A = this chain, B = another copy of it.
């Protein structure tokens, strides 16, 4: 791609450094910003600078926050006895969007994956143990990816937590709502048969 202008090229290169954005998409965005008149470029620019300078990580759960403690940890009405362990910020947002969980969260920051060089030390496990020691947690829900690495992480954590009197559960795995049995992989389908649930008519 030949650029007619140096500043255009720099802007396209900067935007295309974002994940999932190629040069052509970046060019479309940049030309849109050049041509529109409502100061979108300035707004994006300001929002990004503000983001990087002001955003913090919650001291308790490692969620993104505007202050030292995140909105979820600071909410008094939530159930302190139940802790949901997830991999990422987006997992917390996804679970919050379901409105099905009213406990606390703890973000691991990933799962144990020797191939990617991620061992327990790279995850927020020490802070989890510290919370288990101080908070009165009765149940921990492991809401990590249904993968080998996720299972390894659950196993590792369950060993670490075995001396505490805490019930450990995992989120249900099975055929997704609206999914088609025919297209479910055999492992998932097998698990969903083994973990079958009693049916109650509404």
Contacts and interface: CB of A to CB of B under 8 A. Distances in A.
Contacts of A2: 93, 96-97
A51 B55 contact: no
A52 B13 CA distance: 15
B48 A8 contact: no
A86 to B, nearest CB: 12
Contacts of A31: 88-90
Residue among A25, A47, A52, A72 with the highest chain B CB neighbour number at 10 A: A47
Interface string A42-59: 111111111110110000
A178 interface: no
Contact of A15 (B14, B44, B66): B44
A: contact size bracket: 35 or more
Given A1-B93, A31-B90, A50 B7 contact: yes
Contacts of A137: none
Given A5-B64, A7-B66, A48 B45 contact: yes
A129 interface: no
A63 B4 contact: yes
Contacts of A71: 4-5
Interface stretch (A32-40, A77-85, A141-149, A180-188): A32-40
Nearest to A38: B17
Interface string A2-36: 11111110110111011111000101111111100
A157 interface: no
A50 B93 contact: no
Contact of A50 (B1, B11, B63, B92): B11
A32 B65 CA distance: 16
Contacts of A93: 1-4, 27
A41 B51 CA distance: 9
5 contacts: A5-B66, A8-B55, A17-B43, A27-B90, A34-B52
